[in-house]
Amino acid sequence: MQPVFDFFCHSPTVLFGAGRVTDLAGRLDQLGKSCALLITTEGGARRYRQVAEALGSRLRASFDGAVPHCPIEVANAALDAFRRQECDAVVTVGGGSTIGLGKYIAVETGAPHITLPTTLSGSEMTPLFGVLVEGEKRARREPKALANTVIVDPVLAQSLPIRETATTGMNALAHCIEALYVPKSNPLTSQLALTGIDMLYRALKKLADQPTNLDARSEAAYGAAIGGLMVNSVGIGMHHRICHILGGRFEVPHGESNCVVLPHVLAYNAPAIPEACAAMESVMGAHPAVALQRLVRDLGAPVALRELGVPADRIAAIAGESFHHIDHNPLPVDEAAVHTLLHAAWAGQVPSVR
């Protein structure tokens, strides 16, 4: 039987490889821009000084106030800095917190956005971003939010704490795993997703013991880029809907909620995706839901929502709100099923595989 499918993928220009940070200034010159706003977190301002050095005279101003979930107040403060300093481009380095601010500024101003991701969230490859407004993370998808250029330099990530690598790596794995069963999945994206899962799982296993291993950092970054492409081309599923609720209501970092929730959602959906689970098991050596939770433990990342400060008495409310945001799933799902899944995730139970 000949496959029939649609495939969409609008990707940024990607410059990949160790040492590519030195291409930053030249890329700005190619775009005809010379007054960049550099966005980091407070810690990133110290950790990624070489990015500021690579910008040289093209660095007009810096903003180091990026925080998780992109609160609207922070987003507007970064936008104000961009306009006040009369910048013509935005450069971000770090993870989803900084990249989200870059997207917000690009949408509001039309300025080109060059990003240097150091975590594995894959956000740099998508036009998706969220802004936290009055306790609700409001997702937006706009063409102008897609970065103009992504510079992936694994050397920049070598100094990143292993917990941040682990948690964002699980997010990247979630992007690839969900791509296997969302409605827009197709043979091409499924093959790419399985490659991403293989690269990420093996790389994270290595990084658990050797956090500065440059080959493993490169492999993880490659897998994460595939994960970002999957979000861009086929979208997200139930797992991410739940994690967005946890982030908006309890300010749980997105990567950490991925660590906890992904194994349980995968265990729930496994009966509907036996071929995908068999392919993942051949890589992981055990049922993928169990293997992923074991990997999280090995990486020293959280496996229970109670570790993340989520109150037990709010599980029912989270289940209800999550259920109303789930628009598709390979297995039928109701509010009771989400509640059961979240209760197991709250307690950190071993995923119940069938």
pLDDT digits (tens, 9 = 90+) for 113-141: 999 999 998 999 999 898 988 877 788 88
The CATH number covering residue 258 comes to: 1.20.1090.10
Whether 304 is covered by a domain: the verdict is yes
Q: Residue 10 — pLDDT band, cuts 50, 70, 90? A: confident
Do residue 324 and residue 188 come from a single domain?
yes
CA-to-CA dists, residue 134 to 69, 100, 249, 314, 351, angstroms:
12, 18, 9, 18, 33
* Six token digits for residue 285: 């050596």
The CATH number covering residue 112 comes to: 3.40.50.1970
Whether 276 is covered by a domain: the verdict is yes
Do residue 190 and residue 292 come from a single domain?
yes
The contacts of residue 64 (CB under 8 Å, 6+ apart) are 39, 40, 41, 42, 44, 45
Q: What pLDDT does 272 receive?
A: 95
Whether 352 is covered by a domain: the verdict is no
Do residue 93 and residue 60 come from a single domain?
yes
Tell me: pLDDT of 65 over 90.
Answer: yes
Percent of the chain with pLDDT over 90: 82
Domain termination residue (choose one: 137, 157, 177): 157
Do residue 141 and residue 175 come from a single domain?
no
Do residue 253 and residue 318 come from a single domain?
yes
Do residue 115 and residue 178 come from a single domain?
no
Round the average pLDDT of the chain to a whole number and report it: 93
- Which of 16-30, 213-227, 316-330 is predicted least confidently? 316-330
Whether 318 is covered by a domain: the verdict is yes
Whether 354 is covered by a domain: the verdict is no
Tell me: pLDDT of 249 over 90.
Answer: no
Tell me: pLDDT of 217 over 90.
Answer: yes
Q: Residue 1 — pLDDT band, cuts 50, 70, 90? A: low
Do residue 38 and residue 108 come from a single domain?
yes
pLDDT digits (tens, 9 = 90+) for 189-201: 999 999 999 999 9
Do residue 125 and residue 183 come from a single domain?
no
The type of residue at 246 is L
Class of residue 277 by CB neighbours under 10 A (exposed 0-12, middle 13-18, buried 19+): buried
pLDDT digits (tens, 9 = 90+) for 134-187: 877 788 889 999 999 999 999 999 988 899 999 999 999 999 999 999 999 999
Domain of 178? 162-347
Do residue 127 and residue 270 come from a single domain?
no
pLDDT digits (tens, 9 = 90+) for 30-53: 999 999 999 999 999 999 999 999
Whether 200 is covered by a domain: the verdict is yes
Q: What pLDDT does 283 receive?
A: 94
pLDDT digits (tens, 9 = 90+) for 66-112: 998 889 999 999 999 999 999 999 999 999 899 999 999 999 999 99
Q: Residue 284 — pLDDT band, cuts 50, 70, 90? A: very high
First to last CA, the chain: 30
Whether 3 is covered by a domain: the verdict is no
Do residue 182 and residue 135 come from a single domain?
no
Mean pLDDT over 249-278 rounds to 93
Q: What b/e sequence results for 331-342 when a residue is b if at least 16 CB atoms lie within 10 Å of its CB, and e otherwise? A: eebeeebbbbbb
Do residue 290 and residue 230 come from a single domain?
yes
Do residue 177 and residue 243 come from a single domain?
yes
Domain termination residue (choose one: 134, 157, 180): 157
Tell me: pLDDT of 2 over 90.
Answer: no
Domain count, the chain: 2
Whether 2 is covered by a domain: the verdict is no
Tell me: pLDDT of 340 over 80.
Answer: yes
Class of residue 5 by CB neighbours under 10 A (exposed 0-12, middle 13-18, buried 19+): exposed
Domain termination residue (choose one: 126, 157, 188): 157
